[in-house]
Structure 1
Amino acid sequence: MPWDMNDYPVSLKNFDPLLRKKTIEIANALLANGYEDDRAIPIAISQAKSWIKDASKDEKESFDKENNPKKNDHHDTSSANPKLLNNPVEVFFEDDHWLVKTKEAKRASETFDKKTDAVNRANEIAGNKDTEVIIYKKDGTRQH
């Protein structure tokens, strides 16, 4: 069931309003793409938190000024890539950093100085998406 800023899952109750708004927007788009509520919510929370962390001040201010999401908003499902949400999360070393990236994504979602931090974040993302984590060694071979 779609949500709005007045009717949303209890898990969003204590969120900052901007984070809640972004989470609702993402969750409603996932629902429009056929995701079940119990899967859309954790994915949306994870993606919204990443967006909040990475968005510039201008992007956040611009999004804040946009209309709040409504239950009956239309979502363009033709450009969405739900397949990507089902892909495993990879951890690999590149350019002196450990990267966390969904397989087949264009860019890494996060970078870390320590492999353990990258693996912890990958496990969190994969847990929200209900997918696996694939970990590579520094030399590029898969860790077993």
Structure 2
Amino acid sequence: MPWDVNDYPNSLKNFDPLLRKKTIEIANALLANGYEDDRAIPIAISQAKEWLKDASKEEKENFDKKRKPKKSDQHDTSSANPKLLDNAVEVFYEENHWVVKTKEAKRASDTFDKKTAAIDRAHEIAANKESNVIIYKKDGSRQN
């Protein structure tokens, strides 16, 4: 069920209004892409918090001025693939970076200079989608 700023999950009630707005926007997009409510909410919360942490003051101000999300908003469903939701999150070394990518996804979620940062992010993603993490060594062999 889509949400708006007047009707949203109880888990968002104590959020800063900007964080709540971003979470609703992301959650509604996930719902449009076939995610179930109970999976869309934690993923949206995590992504919204990440956005809020990384966004510049100008990005935050622009988003705050943007119209509020509505239940009837249309979302691009061409890029998301709910079939990947249960797939493991992999960490591997490629082109001088540690890559975090859901198995069988077309593109990486993130890249990092340090393996520990990549592993931390992979665990965060996997926890949100209730899947597991597969870690590889720099030589491509699987880490135990």
Equivalent residue runs for 1:49-128 within 5 Å: 49-94=49-94, 98-103=98-103, 104-109=105-110, 111=112, 113=114, 115=116, 117-128=117-128
Q: Which moved more, 1:58-67 or 1:92-101?
A: 92-101
Count, aligned residues: 143
Identity %, equivalent residues: 73
Are the counterparts in 2 of residues 91 and 99 from structure 1 also a CA contact under 8 Å? yes
C-alpha distance in 2, partners of 1:78/1:102?
Answer: 17
C-alpha distance in 2, partners of 1:80/1:44?
Answer: 14
Q: TM-score, normalised by structure 1?
A: 0.79
C-alpha distance in 1, partners of 2:20/2:113?
Answer: 26
- SS of equivalent to 1:92: strand
How far is the alpha carbon of 1:141 from its aligned partner?
A: 1.6
C-alpha distance in 2, partners of 1:2/1:98?
Answer: 35
RMSD: 2.5
Q: Judging changes above 3 Å, is the alpha-carbon distance between structure 1 residues 51 and 85 closer, same or farther for their aligned structure 2 residues?
A: farther
C-alpha distance in 2, partners of 1:85/1:109?
Answer: 16
Q: Which moved more, 1:62-71 or 1:105-114?
A: 105-114
Instruction: Provide structure 1 residue ranges, at least 5 long, that are not aligned to the other structure.
Output: none
How far is the alpha carbon of 1:106 from its aligned partner?
A: 2.8
How far is the alpha carbon of 1:41 from its aligned partner?
A: 0.5
Q: Deviations over 1:42-66 (max 9, x none)?
A: 1111222232233333332222211
Deviant stretches of 4+, over 6 Å? none
